[in-house]
Amino acid sequence: MASTNELGGKVAIVTGAGRNIGRAIALALADGGAWIVVNARSNRAEAEAVAREVEARGGKALVHIGDVADAAAVHAMADAAIEQLGRLDILVNNAALRRERPFADMSYAEWREIMDVTLDGAFHCVKACLPALRKSGAGTIVNIGGLSAHTGAKDRAHVVTAKAGIVGLTRALAHDLADDGITVNCVVPGLIGTPRPRDKPEPAHHLVHQTITGARGRPEDVAAAVRFLCGPGARYITGQAIHSNGGAYLGA
């Protein structure tokens, strides 16, 4: 079990941290003692609510509103982390868009929308944060993948491709950044019981795949895996895609 302060003295950026899995990751890292940059694309109220939860746990939090698809906004976020919190040790690339559209009906603009945020956004974040992560001495990058990247899914060619790219990026960066003392891993959620707006139905692939445990996961289950990978006990783990999905992938 992780100690209560194994991340003390560290600073983490969590993208897409205003709700669901991103929020749970921000709070889990705060529980480990890290200070958190809470990123959201546009919903400041949600991000500020998460920041208050971090501060209620005794940590410091910085809210940064910006789209990870915008390289300038991402560099501004990394600069703000250094200027206001003093350092940067952890980057969690969680921000992503999830859409459903039959491939025959999919426009290139719809394809690019997903790539810009999910895959290119991770690129921008790593590039912006890399100088500080190198200085950390124990830098950590955790990319959040997706079950459908490993199983495929109907009407999600753009999402599946972007999330599969995240796995490839993870493996490539693990090689490129090993000499800098930076670990790079991917946590793959699946069948997580997050709240969904009434106008957004259950994803099609959730209706096909089931967990072998018989239960849906919680955002906190994903966050626990991320917290472990950010801690001192995971420094020998890099380049891996770790599934947090109740064994759903085994039944795919």
- Predicted confidence at residue 216, as pLDDT, reads 81
* Dihedral sign from CA coordinates of 237, 150, 68, 42: negative
Q: Is residue 3 included in any domain, yes or no?
A: no
- Predicted confidence at residue 203, as pLDDT, reads 59
Tens-digit pLDDT profile for residues 174-192: 999 999 999 999 999 988 8
Tens-digit pLDDT profile for residues 214-235: 778 999 999 999 999 999 999 9
What's the domain range around 137? 11-251
Mean of per-residue pLDDT scores for the chain: 92
Looking at the chain, the whole-number percentage of residues with pLDDT higher than 90 is: 84
Provide the number of structural domains found in the chain: 1
Question: DSSP code of 217?
Answer: B
Q: Is residue 228 included in any domain, yes or no?
A: yes
Q: Is residue 222 included in any domain, yes or no?
A: yes
Q: Is residue 126 included in any domain, yes or no?
A: yes
